[in-house]
Amino acid sequence: MDAFTLQEQLDDVRVRLLEALAPLPDEALLQEKTIGEWSVADVLSHLVNWEAELVTALHKLDQGKSPAALLRAMEDRDAFNALHYEEMKGRDLDRIFDDLQGVRSKLEGWIEDFAERGLEDPKRYPALKGMPLWRLIAENSFMHEAEHIKALEEFSERWALAHDDTDTIGIDEIEVHDNGDPR
């Protein structure tokens, strides 16, 4: 997969994520146990953690070093998730969204930097043991994000149904009597 296709995939999945979140107020994003045991904010922090670890790994590769921490995390995702869940619990929503955008911006910069150096060559980075760099990026960014989108979309739909305000009367539906009283 080339850099352009990676960028397209990152953008497509992120748009879908943001569309799923768009109708949700802050209280819904913070509500406990909405996506399994996690809140939506927890899921977003989780995605930030994985992409941040990926960005760190790309920095290591750029220096000619092994991205050992990311490779270990990928071997035991549950342990990595548990460790970082406690760290990130209760973070401010604005900070989570800033980090979601900030880490994505850094990732996109790294993809541009690595585009000329072999995203597709499985032998280019021996520490990856035959995995092409594009695959490492995909698995820890848009593919991972996509795994969570369905649950977020379903929660968003449930929230909308539970908080449907269509029974309220709109201002344009109120008739006014000649004396000025609403009817």
Please give the angle made by the CA atoms of 20, 17 and 53, to the nearest 5 degrees. 145
Average pLDDT, the chain: 89
pLDDT at 165: 61
Question: Tens of pLDDT along 32-55?
Answer: 999 999 999 999 999 999 999 999
pLDDT at 99: 97
Q: Which residue has the higher pLDDT, 173 or 131?
A: 131
Q: What is the DSSP letter of 120?
A: S
Residue 78 pLDDT exceeds 70: yes
pLDDT at 117: 83
| Interatomic CA distance for residues 77 and 106, integer angstroms | 22
As beta bridge partners, residue 182 has 176
Q: How far is CA 115 from the centre of its chain?
A: 23
Average pLDDT over residues 89-112: 95
Q: Tell me the pLDDT band of 107, cut-offs 50, 70 and 90.
A: very high
> CB of 40 within 8 A of CB of 29?
yes
| Interatomic CA distance for residues 139 and 46, integer angstroms | 14
> CB of 150 within 8 A of CB of 38?
no
| Interatomic CA distance for residues 130 and 122, integer angstroms | 5
Tokens of 135: 């695959």
Q: Tell me the pLDDT band of 88, cut-offs 50, 70 and 90.
A: confident
Which pTM was predicted? 0.86
